[in-house]
A and B are shown apart, each in its own frame.
Chain A
Amino acid sequence: MITMTYWIILIIIAITILITIIYYNRFAVLGNRIDNSLAQIDVQLRKRADLVPNLVSSIKGYMKHEKTIITKVTEARKVLLGAKNIQDKVKAGNQLQSALKSIFALAENYPQLKANENFLQLQQELSAIEDKVAYSRQFYNDSILSFNDLCRTFPGSMFAAIFSKKSREYLKIPAESRAVPKISFD
């Protein structure tokens, strides 16, 4: 009888240890996935920033009268490269994106520019990067979702308390970029 209870206790301890290990690893894997997807967003934003000087040099000759928009792009790039945390980076990235959009819209008025092979390639590449930024943000938020699901549902919530893991924040689109741009008549 005593050996029986002894065995039962032993088995319970073993199962508890096993489950703890499984949950510990689960948290580690999902946490790593979040960090990794965050790095991916960063990579794409940097790639976009790296293409800007090429774009500026290719359009300079054609768009002589569009100084303001060109400076806006270079400024946005500087802000992006100087940004410290991911929220700021994404925000700067959005600003850069909208500045690039107005450049491509203006390019419609320059038929010679639109025939430039180099410019077209940069335009294609930048729009592909825009997609990739969106996709990597989506994966980041998906990773946060699975992490938070694990933190908030039982028995994950119990282990989250033990390992002191807290559910994480989603990457929000900054408020100003969602607002409708103001049109000014001056």
Chain B
Amino acid sequence: MKSISFHDQISRNKRKSIFLIFVILLVLILLSYVIGLIYPDYFFIILILGIIISLSYILTSYYNSDKIALASVNAKPASYEKHRQIHNIVEGICLASGLPKPKIYILEDKQINAFATGRDPKHSVICLTTGAIEKLDKQELEGVIGHELSHISNYDIRFMTLVTVMVGMIAIISQIFLRSLWFSGNRNRNKSNAIIMIIGIVLAILAPLVVTIVQMTISRKREYVADASSVKFIRSPTGLIRALKKIKQEHEPMKVSGAVSPLFISDPLKKKLSGLFQTHPPINKRIEVLERM
């Protein structure tokens, strides 16, 4: 793998992130516009309020995404004394990749898993489960941590954060749309309103589905790239291969929300369904690709 392709991946991620921010903004403003049309008396107030709310929604989730993700899985910071080996491995691979050291968090769970989040390498977090720390040896941990640090250096974390924000947003909007039907069903029943309502319902039903599928396909491609960059940092695929083999033998799902599952190194929910709804590429395929390196 040439270094140039990693540069491409980074600029592609940055470009897509900006694009996604605009899409989120556009959707939210469009939504306030539609709501404004339904209540013409308050059109401008709704529109202005809508813009203010959307901007603050995007800004808070962009700047606090790491805290939100960590809080939602209930992770605790890793102390330097107790988890010295982890700190040393992270520091080492940061030296190999030229990244600043991320914050390290520990998540109490028996399953071997890990994730990275944040908005850029300077504000990044890497989180390991206690299961990973107990069951993996040093070389395997290096592979896994290398994989997570690649997500950071490739700016996958920023993009995935924004995708998660968008998924959350569309879920909220569709809920609001469907619920508002109960309240205003009888009062404003003229033709134009009916059409807007129908469009709203269709969007509300379809949008979350489309977004989930998009989210899953993009996150799968990223896993292969992160595996490859991990090998580039460590200069050996052995550790990661062994770690993935250990992960493969586990079956117990983790108790985390589906919204954060694409962030993890392997699907924490251990879904058996293959195809479109998988957030991660099959482990066997990943091991196969790594073994060919």
Contact = CB atoms under 8 A, between A and B. Distances in A.
A131 B92 CA distance: 7
Contact of A146 (B3, B85, B88, B93): B3
Classify the interface of chain A: helix, strand, loop or mixed. Answer: helix
A145 B232 CA distance: 14
> Max chain B CB contacts within 10 Å: which of A44, A138, A143, A145?
A138
Contacts of A145: 3
Contacts of B91: 128, 132
Nearest to B88: A128
Contacts of B95: 40, 44, 132, 135-136, 139
B97 interface: yes
A139 B3 contact: no
Interface residues on A, range: 10 to 19
Nearest to B97: A139
B88 A37 contact: no
A149 B93 CA distance: 23
A57 interface: no
Contacts of A33: 98
A128 B3 contact: no
B92 A135 contact: yes
Interface string A122-160: 001000100110011011001101100100000000000
B259 interface: no
A138 B235 contact: yes
B159 to A, nearest CB: 23
B98 A124 contact: no
B181 to A, nearest CB: 54
A89 B85 CA distance: 26
B96 interface: yes
Contact of A135 (B3, B84, B85, B93): B93
A36 B95 CA distance: 11
Interface string B82-122: 00110011011101111000000000000000000000000
Interface in A1-50: 33, 36-37, 40, 44
A40 B85 CA distance: 20
Interface in B1-51: 3
Contact of B98 (A37, A128, A131): A37
Given A33-B98, A131-B92, A124 B235 contact: no
A138 B88 CA distance: 17
A132 B84 contact: no
Given A145-B3, A146-B3, A139 B88 contact: no
A96 B267 CA distance: 44
Contacts of A139: 95-98
Contacts of A40: 95
Contacts of B3: 142, 145-146, 149
A136 B97 CA distance: 9
> Max chain B CB contacts within 10 Å: which of A124, A139, A143, A149?
A139
B92 A124 contact: no
> Max chain A CB contacts within 10 Å: which of B84, B85, B88, B95?
B95
Nearest to A124: B84
Contacts of A44: 95
A33 B98 CA distance: 8
Interface in A93-141: 124, 128, 131-132, 135-136, 138-139
Contacts of B89: 131
A131 B146 CA distance: 14
A11 to B, nearest CB: 25
Given A37-B98, A139-B95, 16 more contacts: A40-B95, A44-B95, A124-B84, A124-B85, A128-B92, A131-B89, A132-B88, A135-B93, A135-B96, A136-B96, A138-B96, A138-B235, A139-B96, A139-B97, A143-B98, A145-B3
Interface of B: 3, 84-85, 88-89, 91-93, 95-98, 235
19 contacts: A33-B98, A37-B98, A44-B95, A124-B84, A124-B85, A128-B88, A128-B92, A131-B92, A135-B92, A135-B95, A135-B96, A136-B95, A139-B95, A139-B97, A139-B98, A142-B3, A143-B98, A145-B3, A149-B3
